[in-house]
A and B are shown apart, each in its own frame.
Chain A
Amino acid sequence: GQQVMQIPQYQHVQEGEDFTTYCNSSTTLSNIQWYKQRPGGHPVFLIQLVKSGEVKKQKRLTFQFGEAKKNSSLHITATQTTDVGTYFCAGPDFNKFYFGSGTKLNVKP
């Protein structure tokens, strides 16, 4: 079956530093979604990418979908303490959704 892997597992940064998490799928994805889960909370949708090579920005967050639609990345510029949480990528394979293992981001003020 499909596997969705994310690296790194953890990232500790100083406030103001940049952060990137990478997502790799064993199969081609029709689309990829990114979610953020705050400590003690539930996943919250951030964005969806559909097209090969697509790049989308949300303020300080930049999302990219690879040309082969098998990998994706999330980059945060100048992290803030409000960025703390776990970031998950997720993609479907024959109607079944697979979530990555997540990257836990900690931001030191």
Chain B
Amino acid sequence: EAEVAQSPRYKITEKSQAVAFWCDPISGHATLYWYRQILGQGPELLVQFQDESVVDDSQLPKDRFSAERLKGVDSTLKIQPAELGDSAMYLCASSLQGEYYEQYFGPGTRLTVT
């Protein structure tokens, strides 16, 4: 069964350093989401792509976060510089085409900023 791939699974970094997360969605899925999940809370949408275009990034802290999906396939989320408050699980999800389709989540990247 096709799965969403994410790497790395775990990342420990010092504050002020740069970190990058990678996501490879299920083949053929046009919509890609990046979420941040703090322990005990629901996923919070950071950015949504439709193919290579950003549909929504209103919750993305743009002074330090950036996301791209250059060829409309895999995607990278970057944080520079990382802050202590960025420690969380970063989840990538993909769906066939927008809001009426189920989202398939990857295993996530657990980020710890020290």
Q: Residues of A with Cβ closer than 8 Å to B?
A: 4, 6, 30-31, 33, 35, 42-45, 48, 50, 88, 90, 92, 94-102
Tell me how far the C-beta of A86 lies from the nearest C-beta in chain B, rounded to whole angstroms: 8
Interface residues of B in 13-46 (CB under 8 A from A): 33, 35, 41-45
A92 near B43: Cβ-Cβ < 8 Å? no
The answer on a CB contact under 8 Å between A48 and B41 is no
CB pair A43 B91 closer than 8 Å: yes
Contact with A45, one of B41, B100, B102 (Cβ below 8 angstroms): B102
Query: How far apart sit A35 and B43, CA to CA, in the bound complex (Å)?
Result: 11
Residues of B within 8 A of A (CB): 33, 35, 41-45, 48, 55-56, 58, 91, 93, 98-100, 102-108
B56 touching A33, Cβ below 8 Å: no
List B contacts of A44 (CB < 8 A): 105
Does A96 contact B58, Cβ atoms closer than 8 Å?
Answer: yes
> In the complex where A42-B91, A42-B107, A42-B108 touch, is A99 in contact with B102 (Cβ < 8 A)?
no
Complex contact A95–B42 (CB within 8 A): no
A6 to B42, CA, bound (A): 10
Find chain B residues with CB under 8 A from A100 CB.
42
B100 contacts which chain A residues (CB < 8 A)? 30-31, 48, 50
Nearest neighbor of A31 in chain B, beta-carbon distance: B100
- The distance in angstroms between the C-alpha atoms of A35 and B95, with both chains bound, is 14
Interface centre among B35, B41, B42, B108 (most CB of A within 10 A): B42
